[in-house]
């Protein structure tokens, strides 16, 4: 006697139209997965891992104005200069150039260079006063000198909330790929950005220097990373 498969025996009790419906059900469910996935991907993002941090050279230039007394920069120029230098990474790794545009800029350029060196920068190069259209433009804008910074910077992924309207309801999807902020913070803390592109052996460690940094932090003796200050002149 021929044995029937259990599914065949179950289908035998169903009317013929229902048999086709049961057999087609898996195909219908599979077809629903694709549009549902597309809707979720459009709403919450693809969920792909952000690109790894990369290193690239960047040059920024900032036009500055001297204070009325000529002994320093205006508060706005000082704030902008500190912000630009901070965005370029470690001050000691930047190549700085100061270009005066007039006599007042020429007098201020050496003082600015000295203030930057005290903050930890390499000796900035002081360029001669330019000529032509660039000088005319500086005169029209009332610029006294220009500060240029060249450095290697780290490009990291954008770790903002992926979906602002859903992160409190669906935190996993709304916030985005986990670990993005950690990877970005670690990349920004590298001493030499080139370490992210090419491996090298570790240097000898100095426990005294490391302990001194922790002690200064505990005692509240914290130094600003970059703070151009003309008060010591």
- Angle (CA) 221-225-229 rounded to 5° is 90
Could you give all domains of the chain from N- to C-terminal order, each with its CATH number? Answer: 54-155 (3.30.1330.60), 157-197 (no CATH)
pLDDT of residue 83: 93
pLDDT of residue 149: 96
Are 91 and 119 a contacting pair, CB within 8 Å?
yes
**Residue 61: CB partners within 8 Å, gap ≥ 6?**
146, 147, 148, 149
Are 156 and 197 a contacting pair, CB within 8 Å?
no
d(CA 70, CA 72): 6
- Angle (CA) 158-163-167 rounded to 5° is 115
What pTM was estimated for this model as a whole? 0.58
φ/ψ of residue 151, rounded to 5: -160, 165
Residues in the chain: 233
pLDDT of residue 8: 47
pLDDT of residue 3: 52
pLDDT of residue 123: 94
pLDDT tens for the chain, 233 residues: list them: 555 545 444 444 545 555 555 555 455 544 555 665 566 666 655 555 556 777 888 999 999 999 988 788 999 999 999 999 988 988 888 999 999 999 999 999 999 999 999 988 999 999 998 888 888 888 888 899 999 999 988 887 777 777 777 666 677 777 776 777 788 888 877 777 777 777 777 677 777 777 888 888 888 887 666 666 666 65
């Amino acid at each position: 006697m021929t044995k029937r498969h259990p599914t065949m025996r179950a289908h035998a009790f169903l009317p013929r139209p229902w048999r086709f419906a049961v057999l087609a059900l898996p195909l219908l469910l599979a077809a629903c997965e694709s549009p549902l996935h597309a809707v979720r991907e459009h709403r919450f993002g693809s969920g792909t891992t952000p690109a790894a941090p990369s290193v690239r050279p960047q040059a920024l230039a900032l036009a500055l104005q001297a204070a009325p007394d000529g002994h320093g920069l205006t508060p706005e120029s000082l704030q902008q200069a500190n912000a630009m230098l901070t965005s370029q990474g470690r001050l000691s790794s930047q190549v700085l150039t100061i270009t005066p545009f007039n006599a007042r800029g020429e007098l201020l350029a050496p003082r600015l260079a000295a203030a930057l060196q005290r903050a930890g920068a390499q000796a900035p190069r002081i360029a001669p006063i330019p000529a032509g259209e660039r000088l005319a433009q500086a005169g029209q804008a009332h610029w006294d000198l220009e500060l240029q910074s060249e450095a290697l910077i780290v490009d990291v992924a954008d770790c903002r909330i992926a979906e602002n309207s859903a992160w409190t309801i669906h935190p996993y999807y709304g916030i985005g790929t986990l670990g993005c902020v950690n990877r970005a913070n670690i990349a920004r803390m590298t001493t030499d950005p080139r370490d992210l592109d090419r491996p090298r052996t570790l240097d000898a460690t100095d426990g005294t220097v490391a302990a001194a940094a922790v002690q200064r932090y505990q005692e509240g003796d914290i130094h600003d990373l970059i703070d151009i200050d003309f008060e010591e002149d």
